[in-house]
Amino acid sequence: MTSFILRLTKQFPTIGLLALAVASSASAATIGATSLNQSWDFYRDDAKVAATVEQVPANGWSRVNLPHTARLEAKVPVNSWQGTAFYKKRFDAKVAPGEQAILRFEGAMNVADVWVNGKHLGQHLGGYLPFSYDVTAHLKAGGGNELVVRINNEDNAITGPKPLKDLDYIQYGGIYRDVTLTIKPAVHISDEMLSNTEAGGGIFVTYPQIDKASATVRVKAEVCNTATEPRTAELRHRLLGKNSRVADATEKVSLAAGECRHVTRDLKVDRPQLWSPKAPNLYALETTVASKGQSDLVKTRVGIRRIEMSKGKLLINGEQTFLRGVNRHQEYPYVGYALSPQAEYRDALLIKRAGFDYIRLSHYPHSPAFMAAADELGIMVVPGIPGWQYFNPDPAFTTQVVKTCTDMVRRDRNHASVLAWECSLNETQMPDALVEKLHKTVHTEFPGDHVYSAGWVPQTYDVYLQARQHRLEDKRPQPDKALIVSEYGDWEYYAMNAGFNQTAWGDLKAADRSSRQLLADGETRLLQQAKNLAESHDDNFNTGAVADGYWVMFDYGRGYAPDLESSGIMTIDRLPKFSSEFFRSQRSALESGKWGGGPMVFIASHWDKDSSPKVRVFANTDEVELFLNGKSLGRVKSAPTKLHPNLKHPPLEFDAGQFAAGELKAVAYLGGKKVAEHVVRTASEGAKLDVSVDDLGVKSATGDLVFIRAKVVDAKGNLVAGNGQSVKFTAGGAYEIVGPATVTTEGGIASVLVRVGASGGKGTIAADGANLRGSL
């Protein structure tokens, strides 16, 4: 479930984010919401001389749009920016007597001070969650308002986590998510971030009764009256399916002047279309409150489902399920966290296509756009609070951590995709009192059954999150509760210290045995990564876990080391490694959706002179036959093996005897019928650059970020999978290159990031790589 702005249409989206450009970020947005993302003045105080906006040099400002990162970083970040920056913007707003104006930020890193027309509204700590201000009394009646924001992303002892020089990821900086101004009528639905009541504010939807015959959808709405006199209002809920109204209810509400009240109403749904990873059915809930000819409309996207977890068992709507998953850091190269909604959707789409139905959102709350995509595509998520190997005994730190848990649950409580809440400081020795307080906060903010707290320590939390590297050293019996393998496949193949001391370099394992392999490291090492993942994923089934999460989906930048953390199954540029195809082969061939799926087969080889004659193939079908230059190398059944007893579709190996240039073709069979094939051909010398837009079929909008690929191909169109060839890109039309225009190839592909201009359409790109050229 997620709420979003839906202003101009009552059509419930079939491709969700695409049709609506995911306007939102706000969890309870209304007709009066206006985006303030455009036309900000920006100043980064690199000289560290400006403590106030008045001290910014007059000629120091530049014009930017949101989402925005305070500084573009290198693809391999070194000495990532930390400091203070200023944003300012002029805007008009008309507020009638009794109306309320709410200014809302979805994310600003990490400490944000906000002024409107010179009035300091407050300071917000923490860069990952929304914060709102009632600015009604501070706006000018005639317009011409000025909004000023000072942000600081330096190490902070109260918000944590540990200092950047010791941190294994980067928090980046800037106002990197949406800013909106909402004008609410006198009687309205509140902004949940402004509510001061437990489990309060906005719209909160729960499901006290669910079965295949019927379901109860319980809607709690906080209705406020900011008029100076009492008001009577009509509160109406309408639940809409894809093509019709499913349920509705209307009642009268009386409010004193200045009063806010929670009103709860049950809607009965006959034969509900339940939400699950296999069938992510969604409904649109319209909540309207009307008084004296004015109305406030909030639309919330919801999914009806029941989650039940206990030791060794996960039931989704009564069906026992194991969730294959992955961890994700949310950054892109150069822009860090400042992703477009479409880029967030593409990440979710890549994750679903790679065979995953679960994501641990490491190690902080991810964007509302990504949460919306998870709802739509059928991916369960575990949101987590910021925190990693850091605790501060200052009571202010505990206060901040608990507030962060509260705000995270409040923002994301209406998402069907949420499996559990990781209100836990990862790999941190937390006092028992803090663990208890965080567990209680989850259940206070989300009261009722089938709600689960999760943490990396075995006590108190409902779900135990245990990393495989910790399990290998911990011989104690598992606790009597649901277990999720929080991460696996990386650290246990990298070092010997179980992940608690990231800066201890003395006990690293051999690099060629590691899961940390760049795409440019070549075929042998990519196969090693895939081997590690198959071994560790198989081992997870011996634990009784209800889900597991490989570490990690995408390569990412690091704070404490001048390199990329390269254990991703895709690069930071979102190019696949062999291991992504291994995971894709673990999804049943019978599963498919608008995201893709179905039967697949993949040859994990470039088939060149350096390739191993023992060819590895990934497939999710009954049998695979491999041909070399038309001659069969055998037909092998796909079934558990002694090496991989728990995998239904383990990696298959064929022996070609020796390398022979030409064509490898894998043919996959299901029920005796050919259902898929994959061909790899030995490439000759590169002849041209094949240039394309890698948008995954997701339509761009203004401000979108999308990768352009230039593939080195031979005269027959075969990929030449080399590394390090320099390619220069030139953009025109609707495209603006973000980051360097000259890059080098990885696995035969050069990638450049572009921002889509005001037209939202396609631009032009030319690529020049010495004697190779291409364009679109």
Tell me the three-class secondary structure of 408-453, residue by residue.
HHHHHCCCCCECCEECCCECCCCCHHHHHHHHHHHHHHCCCCCCCE
Spatial distance between the Cα atoms of 607 and 682, rounded to a whole number of angstroms: 5
Tell me the three-class secondary structure of 307-341, residue by residue.
EEEECCEEEECCEECCEEEEEECCCECCCECCCCH
Q: Within a domain: residue 233?
A: yes
Are 324 and 471 members of one domain?
A: yes
3-state secondary structure of 513: helix
Q: By C-alpha distance, which of 532, 539, 536 is closest to 511?
A: 532
Structure tokens at 86: 């200023």
Are 272 and 316 members of one domain?
A: no
Are 65 and 202 members of one domain?
A: no
Is the CB of residue 543 less than 8 Å from the CB of residue 652? Answer: no
Are 96 and 160 members of one domain?
A: yes
0.85 cut: is pTM over it?
yes
CATH classification at residue 620: 2.60.40.10
Spatial distance between the Cα atoms of 96 and 642, rounded to a whole number of angstroms: 73
Residue 138 falls in which region: left (phi positive, over 0), alpha (psi -120 to 50) or beta: alpha
Spatial distance between the Cα atoms of 427 and 161, rounded to a whole number of angstroms: 11
Q: Within a domain: residue 573?
A: no
What's the pLDDT at 505? 65
Are 710 and 697 members of one domain?
A: yes
Q: By C-alpha distance, which of 685, 704, 700, 709 is closest to 767?
A: 709
Are 172 and 80 members of one domain?
A: yes
Q: Within a domain: residue 82?
A: yes
CATH classification at residue 56: 2.60.120.260
What's the pLDDT at 26? 35
Are 674 and 692 members of one domain?
A: no
- Residue numbers of the chain with a pLDDT score lower than 50: 1-30
3-state secondary structure of 369: helix
Q: Within a domain: residue 537?
A: no
What's the pLDDT at 22? 35
Q: Within a domain: residue 525?
A: no
Spatial distance between the Cα atoms of 227 and 446, rounded to a whole number of angstroms: 30
Q: Within a domain: residue 41?
A: yes
Q: Which phi and psi (to 5°) does residue 431 adopt?
A: -60, 145
Strand 33-35: give its sheet, edge to edge.
33-35, 179-184, 100-105, 131-134
Are 89 and 132 members of one domain?
A: yes
Chain centre to alpha carbon of residue 208: 28
Q: How many CB atoms lie within 10 A of CB 290?
A: 16
Is the CB of residue 94 less than 8 Å from the CB of residue 101? Answer: no
Q: Which domain holds residue 762?
A: 688-775
Are 733 and 757 members of one domain?
A: yes
Are 221 and 72 members of one domain?
A: no
DSSP letter for 465, please.
E
Is the CB of residue 255 less than 8 Å from the CB of residue 230? Answer: yes
Q: How many domains does the chain have?
A: 5
Q: Within a domain: residue 648?
A: yes
**Last residue in a domain, options 302, 327, 345:** 302
Q: Within a domain: residue 533?
A: no
CATH classification at residue 331: 3.20.20.80
Given the structure tokens 């918000």, which residue do they identify? 159
**Last residue in a domain, options 280, 302, 324:** 302
Are 486 and 394 members of one domain?
A: yes
**Last residue in a domain, options 252, 275, 302:** 302
Are 164 and 242 members of one domain?
A: no
Write out the E strands in 449-561. 454-455, 463-466, 482-488, 547-550, 556-557
Structure tokens at 323: 């969730």
3-state secondary structure of 122: strand
Structure tokens at 21: 């450009």
What's the pLDDT at 303? 98
* pLDDT tens per residue, range 283-311: 999 999 999 999 999 999 999 999 999 99
Alpha carbon distance, N-terminus to C-terminus of the chain: 39
Structure tokens at 717: 């169109």
